[in-house]
Amino acid sequence: MQSIDNSEAWKQIPPEEKLEIMSRAHATGFFAAVVAVVVCSTIALALKISTIMWASIVLSPLVFQFASGKAWKGLKPRIMLEYLAARSVVRRFAFAEGAKDLHLNLIFRGKLENIFENDAIQEALEAVVSRTKEASVWIALFPDALIMITERPGGAVLAMGHLVNDKLTIQSSDNGNYTNGKELTIVAKDRKAGAVKKYKITSRHPGALAVLEKRILQFQEESKQRMAREVAAITNTVDVPTDDNDFVTHSSF
């Protein structure tokens, strides 16, 4: 079974989310520094000792560094644990979908919306009632499977799962570019029921969506090339007779 250490777990977190928690830590440090200056200035004004105010201003960078560092140490382990838990769950669902390579390639947070055709009004109403039409999901990509799970009070639930093959198509709202508000449309054919389902994926991290799109297309191309090599290998191993002499039989009598 694939093991993972702290550095590998940290690498799986998208850079955009790392910058987000870094900005949250800096915001905490900035707020602490401002509060320290305001409190010390109030004390200096009450005691009429200006040295206290100037000392607080000079020491405010140290307050900022200490508070932001403490906030970072609290945010980073929590984010890593969330990703490790999600990683464990999506691997289980990927195995259930028939994935052979369970090496996680990409994982991030996003939103999934089921898109129904005009003649599927009943299914759309059922999805709205069951709160499955739109959901916050973990989006995970394996070399041969795309898995999306949503968190429920009773545990994680598979929101969308499909093998990365020719029955899965992906379209981008910006033609493969990186823009804010990027959307991906996934069209997947259910291998069991044969029904075609359509999904729209969005995320606060458009960079992760761009990477997801490129890697799905890459894995599909690699799958096609691998199948072509397998077919060629099978064809080359078959002995096709080209002459009637190939059918000469030898008797031992």
Could you give the domains of the chain?
Answer: 6-81 (no CATH), 101-234 (2.30.29.30)
Query: Using the 8-state DSSP alphabet, how is residue 98 labeled?
Result: T
Residue with tokens 């729209």: 200
Name residue, tokens 């606060």. Answer: 204
Q: Distance (Å, rounded) from C-alpha 109 to C-alpha 104?
A: 15
CA 77, 78, 79, 81 dihedral sign is positive
Long-range contacts, 227-236 (Cβ 8 Å, 24+): none
Give the range among 39-43, 127-131, 147-151, 180-184 with minimum mean pLDDT. 127-131
Residue 185 β-bridge partners: 171, 200
Q: What is the pLDDT of residues 174-223, one digit of tens each?
A: 765 666 778 899 998 876 666 788 899 999 888 889 899 999 999 988 88
DSSP state of 169: E
| pLDDT of 238 strictly over 60 | no
Range 28-31, long-range pairs (CB < 8 A, 24+ positions): 28/67, 28/68, 28/70, 28/71, 29/63, 29/64, 29/65, 29/66, 29/67, 29/68, 29/69, 29/71, 30/64, 30/68, 31/67
Q: What is the pTM of this model?
A: 0.79
